[in-house]
Amino acid sequence: MMSKACVTILLVATFAAALPTATAAEQAPAPETEWVKLLAAVDSLDCPCLAATQDGGLVLATGGYLVKLSAAGDEQWRRPHNAPGGPESMVALHNGGFLLLNQDSAWAGRHNDKGDLVAQRTYQGEFTQLLSGMEIDNGHFVLCGRWNDDAWLLEVDSELEPVWQQTYDAGAEELVVAIVPGPDGGYVVACNSGEYSKFGTGPSQIWVFKCDAQGQMLAEYRTPGIMRYVGRRYLAQSDNHYYVCFARAQGLNTDTWLVKLDGDLKEAWGRYLGTKALSAGTSTVVAAGNRVVIAGVQPAPASAEHDRVTGLLSLGPWAMRVDAEGTVVWEAHVPLPRGCYGFRLMDVAATMDGCFLLGSSTTPDDVAGEHAEALVLVKLRDKPAD
């Protein structure tokens, strides 16, 4: 039986001046760009996503294939998958496997570390979207998204059969875009609430709430903003605190904000990071250990000549690491391979020694009139944490 927790939201008037700009008194050297790979022959570029693996590598999912890459970026295996419409989110599991999720079909598929499909299920509702999920200690999973116009959490067992589900209504259109472990076996989730679209039109509110292991709400936080659901990485956990990344500006040339919340979802600090997400996709935040990394898109280094010749703005991967106080530790702008332009960020995964950035870029062939787009995968190796 679907239950509903009705919550009344009061609009909180928060202005840009309330959140100070992130500072960078003495930045550490930018991380090493360990490698940049162009993956031009990985089938469809629709909805690519990735997950870091325990061996330091990653698994990449595209519209038709799963691809395992080593820590050095070398392909180890490739196989087709069964995700209807293509995967849009991936969850790494403790046994080396992973979950693939598709948004509009509300499909989930559990795979082992070789990419074999172990279990799958589609969750049907009048209007159901499945965006993200996490593994919990009993071998079950908590999935999240939207049921009709309400935020939706669903616990499933190892075979993806439902155990319980809960919806949360804030009086508008709600959509859970990210979930991380909370204290005492519960969860912290980040939602969009309001009349919004993924392209940034219309007002919206960020709604973060904490709930217990059965989905009962315990605390909440809200602020004006929007999380455009690209990559599903807008909420990160580090050292019993939670980091929320979002935008407030309308349209695609967006600003970037980062807020740190304590275990009770009280705001510890907020930082305005500037315009860090040009073109499609907003900035995103991930964490591994005490490393908190924000990623996005910025004009690529040394792109003036390309821009003059083609009349197109050359965009490249961008990343920033902040410490526990929101101070910038380093900032990195990653040059794309020669002739590539128009980078679009699609996913990011943090590792204990850096991060992976995934996006797509148009190759020089497109300038000549033939569409040629490739996946771009970047490995950044971080400096040791303080």
- Residues 328-344 pLDDT 10s: 888 888 887 777 777 77
pLDDT at 140: 96
Residues 147 and 163: their CA atoms lie apart, in Å, by: 16
pLDDT band at 250 (very low <50, low <70, confident <90, very high): low
Rg for the chain (alpha carbons), in Å?
A: 20
Of 151, 159, 267, the residue nearest 211 (C-alpha): 151
pLDDT band at 202 (very low <50, low <70, confident <90, very high): low
Q: Which residues contact 308 (CB under 8 A, 6 or more apart)?
A: none
CA 379 to chain centre: 16
**How many Cβ atoms are within 10 Å of 105's Cβ, its own excluded?**
18
Residues 199 and 11: their CA atoms lie apart, in Å, by: 22
pLDDT band at 357 (very low <50, low <70, confident <90, very high): confident
Strand order in the sheet with 150-156: 3-6, 162-169, 150-156, 141-147, 128-135
Given a cut of 50, whether residue 182 has pLDDT beyond it is yes
Q: How many residues does the chain have?
A: 386
Region class of 104: left (phi > 0), else alpha (psi between -120 and 50), else beta: alpha
The answer to whether residues 9 and 207 touch, using CB atoms and an 8 Å cutoff, is: yes
In this structure, what token pair is assigned to residue 104?
A: 């509009």
Residues 263 and 280: their CA atoms lie apart, in Å, by: 32
Given a cut of 50, whether residue 1 has pLDDT beyond it is no
Give the DSSP letter of residue 64: S
- 371 by Cβ neighbours in 10 Å (0-12 / 13-18 / 19+) ranks as exposed
pLDDT band at 130 (very low <50, low <70, confident <90, very high): confident
In this structure, what token pair is assigned to residue 178?
A: 């990210």
Residues 317 and 84: their CA atoms lie apart, in Å, by: 29
In this structure, what token pair is assigned to residue 269?
A: 């600090």
Residues 223 and 234: their CA atoms lie apart, in Å, by: 14
